């Protein structure tokens, strides 16, 4: 149509008639007609589409209706479908589905907590734990804090090196006036995080512990009441050139012997600090032990693979004669049978030091005497099944400890009153009955490496020191687990010792200290032993990372001897 119009105007009312293949020129009337058609009007201008209606049918004179059909019944019956619709509406109105007046706007807020008194009904569910309130801001969060709250630039830089967890989340800033405060960039984030905390964090009601730290400490009897105990250093025994490995007190308490890494064993008078006698061995002296009998002043010394039994030369002639008799080996070598030969221990006379030399096949670590002074045990940690030997001095006889050791042996001790033998390996302590030849008990220390063991003079309690600085107290009647573990030293414990008569025990360690404890054992079995730490003894200096190597109590007095790696022996008195 548009094309046509264009044609009309551009080509002066000329139209190509395709059918007749000719060009037709429209007359003026014809173009007018086309235009009217385009406008949607009638083609002829004089035609009136809205002429008034004239009914051509004349009713007045007609005698009959146009249709003679009777009125249908349906015209007289009410509509069923309409009735259904009405019924539906009626029902809807009755049920309140259709409301004619607009619903009243209820006020959004009302008195929710009108009567607080009646609202104390118990809710059936779990207790509500209110969320903890956020922390209150401190001085440093102020927009204008005191200058000392503002970290320096170096400190701020150092925050970057910190672990992300430790890094302070808020760095104080200072603005000199209120107008210069910028918007806080984390405002929304902080709020969001609080939201997350509120609905994601498990809440637990925790009692706020506001305990006085003093109240945590156990109520122990006053130290003053537990006197006497060694507290201060009174004497020093100087003379050794190397670390003093071991000391031992004579039964009477008049003498002490010490073995050192400079290869000497020295005999000291306690009161005067005088060195009475020196034995030279030329090799590190591991261990010294006095015979517990006062009438047999014999000293057992371990040097490398040998155990020497030395005559200390003390006592009157009677005693000396007895000792010399004892320390005499008839047959220089005593391999009685082939079995011993293989194992290779031998009793022989040692003329150089006027004693007996008891040769072992591996280096000997320690010697412990039986209370009667006839037997003594030696420990060779590398000796496998023959690591622990029990020797009899009077018969110059040696026998093997007949039980399998589970682990490396550390020390072996006789029970102070009964024929019971304690062997401690690195982990456990085993208790054997020597008469019945059987295992009585196994004490589980739970320690990493046991270093020393000591038996209470009554025999029912033992203490065990370990290389991880812990001291275990075992009550044999109570359990095979420690009654108490005291973590007292930061470094290895080298030795532990009980006092023979006073309720004291001590531990010494490589951290150059020795602890003195009070340890009462009650005769009433129901009462647990009372353990009170009494004193920390200092004074030794460290050398080569080693501190106090040995500690022994005086047999009568509440005095403690300590042997240090700094070649000193100290006596602590009350």
Partner 1 sequence: MAARKKHSAMVPRKKHYRPAGKKKEGNAARYITRSQAIKQLQVTLGFFRRLSILKGIFPREPKKKFKGNNHTYYHVKDVAFLQHEPLLDKFRDIRAYQKKIKKAEAKKNADLATLLRTREPTYKLDKLVRERYPKFVDALRDLDDCLTMVHLFAALPAVERAKIDVELIHNCRRLSHEWQAYVCRTYKLRKVFISVKGIYYQAEIEGQKITWLTPHAMQQVLPDDVNFSVMLTFLEFYETLLGFVNFRLYHSLNVKYPPILDPKLEALASDLYALSRYIVSNTRTSTLEPKAASSSTSEQLEAKEKEMQGDESELRLAQLQHQLPSNEPGALMHLMEGAECENEDDQDTKECKRLFKNMKFFLSREVPRESLLFVIPAFGGVVSWDGEAAPYKEADQSISHQIVDRPTQGHKYLSREYVQPQWIYDCINARIILPTEAYLVGRIPPPHLSPFVDNDAEGYIPDYAETIKRLQAAARNEVLPMPGVGKEDLDDPQNLLVEGYISRAEANEAAQTKKKMVTLEKQYHEELQSELQGAVMKKSKQGSAELAKTSEEPVPDPKQIAEDIDTMSKLGMSRKKRGLLEAIEKGKERNTARISKLKERKKKLKSSEN
Q: Which is nearer to partner 1, 58 or 125 (CB)?
A: 125
From the list 30, 141, 295, 352, which residue makes contact with partner 1 (rule: CB under 8 A)? 141
Between 191 and 220, how does the x/- string for binding to partner 1 read (CB under 8 A)?
xx-xxx-xxxxxxx----x-x-x--xxx-x
Non-local CB neighbours of 555 within 8 Å, separated by 6+ positions:
249, 250, 251, 252, 253, 500, 501
Near partner 1 in 367-396, by CB under 8 A: none
Q: Which is nearer to partner 1, 81 or 210 (CB)?
A: 210
CB 213 to partner 1: min, Å: 5
Residue 16 makes contact with partner 1 by CB under 8 A: no
Between 464 and 503, how does the x/- string for binding to partner 1 read (CB under 8 A)?
----------------------xxx---------------
From the list 143, 159, 397, 522, which residue makes contact with partner 1 (rule: CB under 8 A)? 143
Cis ω for the linkage preceding 228 (within 30 of 0): yes
Non-local CB neighbours of 320 within 8 Å, separated by 6+ positions:
311, 313
Cβ atoms of 490 and 469 within 8 Å: the answer is yes
CB 152 to partner 1: min, Å: 8
3-class SS of residue 281 = coil
Instruction: Please choose, out of 64-72, 142-150, 337-345, 346-354, the segment that lies near partner 1 by the rule CB under 8 A.
Output: 142-150
From the list 20, 67, 68, 119, which residue makes contact with partner 1 (rule: CB under 8 A)? 119
Instruction: Please choose, out of 27-35, 437-445, 450-458, 528-536, the segment that lies near partner 1 by the rule CB under 8 A.
Output: 528-536
Near partner 1 in 342-371, by CB under 8 A: none
**φ and ψ at 18, to 5 degrees?**
-70, -35
Which candidate, 196, 134, 269, 153, places its Cα nearest to that of 561? 269
Which candidate, 222, 322, 229, 291, places its Cα nearest to that of 574? 229
CB 573 to partner 1: min, Å: 8
CB 418 to partner 1: min, Å: 30
Cβ atoms of 467 and 492 within 8 Å: the answer is yes
From the list 1, 3, 54, 188, which residue makes contact with partner 1 (rule: CB under 8 A)? 188
Q: Which is nearer to partner 1, 138 or 402 (CB)?
A: 138
Near partner 1 in 282-321, by CB under 8 A: none
Q: Which is nearer to partner 1, 10 or 111 (CB)?
A: 111
Task: Give the neighbor-by-neighbor strand order of the sheet with 470-475.
Answer: 450-455, 461-466, 470-475, 484-487
Token pair recorded at residue 490: 């930061």
CB 564 to partner 1: min, Å: 13
Q: Which is nearer to partner 1, 10 or 209 (CB)?
A: 209
Tokens 């925790």 belong to which residue?
206
CB 103 to partner 1: min, Å: 11
Number of residues forming the site for partner 1 (CB under 8 A): 92
Q: Which is nearer to partner 1, 20 or 272 (CB)?
A: 272
CB 284 to partner 1: min, Å: 24
Cβ atoms of 267 and 312 within 8 Å: the answer is yes
Near partner 1 in 397-436, by CB under 8 A: none
DSSP β-bridge partners for residue 474: 462
Residue 232 makes contact with partner 1 by CB under 8 A: yes
Q: Residue 390: is it exposed, middle or buried by C-beta count within 10 angstroms (0-12/13-18/19+)?
A: buried
Non-local CB neighbours of 378 within 8 Å, separated by 6+ positions:
302, 307, 358, 360, 364, 365, 366, 367, 388, 389, 391
Which candidate, 271, 266, 301, 270, places its Cα nearest to that of 286? 301
Q: Residue 54: is it exposed, middle or buried by C-beta count within 10 angstroms (0-12/13-18/19+)?
A: exposed
CA–CA dist 496, 263 (Å, integer): 24
Residue 535 makes contact with partner 1 by CB under 8 A: yes
CA–CA dist 109, 557 (Å, integer): 88
Question: Strands 306-311 and 244-249, how do they pair?
Answer: unpaired
Residue 234 makes contact with partner 1 by CB under 8 A: yes
From the list 12, 28, 102, 125, which residue makes contact with partner 1 (rule: CB under 8 A)? 125
Near partner 1 in 241-280, by CB under 8 A: 271-274
Cβ atoms of 49 and 42 within 8 Å: the answer is yes
CB 199 to partner 1: min, Å: 5
CB 504 to partner 1: min, Å: 14
From the list 33, 235, 293, 434, which residue makes contact with partner 1 (rule: CB under 8 A)? 235
Give whole-number Cα distances, 466 to 367, 499, 551, in Å. 19, 19, 15
CA–CA dist 471, 484 (Å, integer): 8
Instruction: Please choose, out of 251-259, 325-333, 406-414, 529-537, the segment that lies near partner 1 by the rule CB under 8 A.
Output: 529-537
Cβ atoms of 464 and 445 within 8 Å: the answer is yes
Q: Which is nearer to partner 1, 162 or 536 (CB)?
A: 536
CB 24 to partner 1: min, Å: 48
CB 500 to partner 1: min, Å: 22
CB 178 to partner 1: min, Å: 5
Residue 112 makes contact with partner 1 by CB under 8 A: yes
CA atoms within 13 A on the CB side of 21: 0
From the list 68, 81, 123, 526, which residue makes contact with partner 1 (rule: CB under 8 A)? 123
Instruction: Please choose, out of 31-39, 175-183, 445-453, 496-504, the segment that lies near partner 1 by the rule CB under 8 A.
Output: 175-183
Which candidate, 357, 240, 261, 250, places its Cα nearest to that of 313? 250
């Amino acid at each position: 149509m548009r094309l046509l119009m264009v044609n009309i105007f551009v080509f002066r009312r000329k139209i190509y008639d395709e059918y007749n293949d000719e060009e037709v020129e429209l007359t003026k009337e014809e173009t007018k007609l086309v235009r009217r058609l385009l406008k949607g009007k009638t083609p002829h201008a004089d035609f009136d589409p809205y002429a008034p209606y004239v009914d051509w049918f004349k009713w007045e004179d007609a005698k009959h209706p146009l249709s003679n059909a009777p009125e249908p019944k349906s015209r007289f019956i009410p509509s069923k479908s309409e009735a259904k619709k009405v019924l539906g509406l009626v029902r809807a109105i009755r049920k309140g589905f259709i409301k004619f007046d607009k619903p009243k706007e209820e006020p959004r807020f009302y008195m929710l907590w009108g009567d607080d008194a009646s609202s104390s009904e118990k809710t059936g569910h779990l207790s509500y734990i209110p969320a903890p309130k956020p922390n209150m801001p401190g001085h440093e969060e102020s927009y204008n804090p005191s200058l000392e709250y503002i970290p320096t630039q170096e400190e701020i830089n150092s925050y970057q090196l910190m672990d992300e967890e430790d890094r302070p989340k808020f760095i104080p800033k200072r603005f000199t006036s209120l107008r210069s405060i910028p918007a806080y960039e984390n405002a929304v984030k902080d709020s969001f995080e609080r939201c997350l905390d509120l609905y994601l964090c498990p809440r637990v009601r925790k009692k706020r512990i506001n305990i006085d730290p003093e109240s945590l400490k156990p109520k122990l009897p006053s130290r003053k009441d537990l006197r006497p105990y060694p507290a201060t250093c009174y004497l020093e025994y100087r003379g050794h050139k190397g670390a003093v490995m071991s000391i031992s007190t004579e039964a009477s308490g008049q003498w002490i012997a010490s073995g050192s890494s400079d290869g000497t064993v020295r005999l000291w008078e306690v009161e005067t600090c005088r060195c009475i006698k020196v034995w030279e061995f030329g090799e590190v002296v591991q261990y010294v032990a006095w015979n517990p009998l006062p009438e047999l002043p014999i000293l057992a010394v371990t040097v490398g693979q040998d155990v020497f039994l030395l005559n200390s030369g003390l006592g009157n002639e009677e005693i000396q004669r007895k000792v010399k008799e004892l320390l005499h080996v008839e047959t220089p070598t005593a391999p009685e049978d082939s079995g011993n030969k293989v194992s290779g221990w031998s009793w022989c006379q040692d003329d150089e030091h006027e004693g007996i030399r008891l040769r072992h096949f591996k280096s000997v670590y320690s010697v412990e005497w039986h209370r009667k002074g006839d037997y003594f045990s030696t420990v060779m940690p590398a000796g496998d099944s023959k690591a622990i030997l029990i020797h009899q001095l009077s018969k110059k006889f040696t026998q093997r400890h007949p039980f399998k050791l589970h682990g490396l042996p550390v020390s072996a001790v006789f029970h102070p009153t009964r024929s019971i033998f304690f062997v401690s390996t690195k982990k456990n302590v085993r208790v054997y009955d020597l008469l019945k030849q059987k295992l009585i008990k196994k004490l589980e220390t739970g320690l990493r490496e046991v270093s020393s063991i000591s038996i209470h003079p009554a025999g029912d309690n033992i203490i065990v020191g370990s290389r991880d600085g812990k001291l275990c107290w075992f009550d044999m009647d109570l359990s095979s687990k420690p009654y108490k573990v005291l973590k007292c030293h930061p470094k290895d414990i080298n030795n532990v010792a009980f006092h023979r008569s006073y309720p004291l025990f001590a531990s010494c360690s490589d951290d150059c200290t020795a602890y003195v404890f009070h340890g009462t054992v009650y005769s009433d079995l129901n009462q647990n032993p009372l353990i009170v730490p009494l004193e920390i003894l200092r004074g030794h200096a460290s050398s080569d990372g080693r501190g106090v190597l040995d500690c022994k109590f005086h047999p009568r007095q509440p005095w403690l001897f300590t042997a240090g790696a700094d070649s000193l022996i100290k006596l602590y008195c009350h």
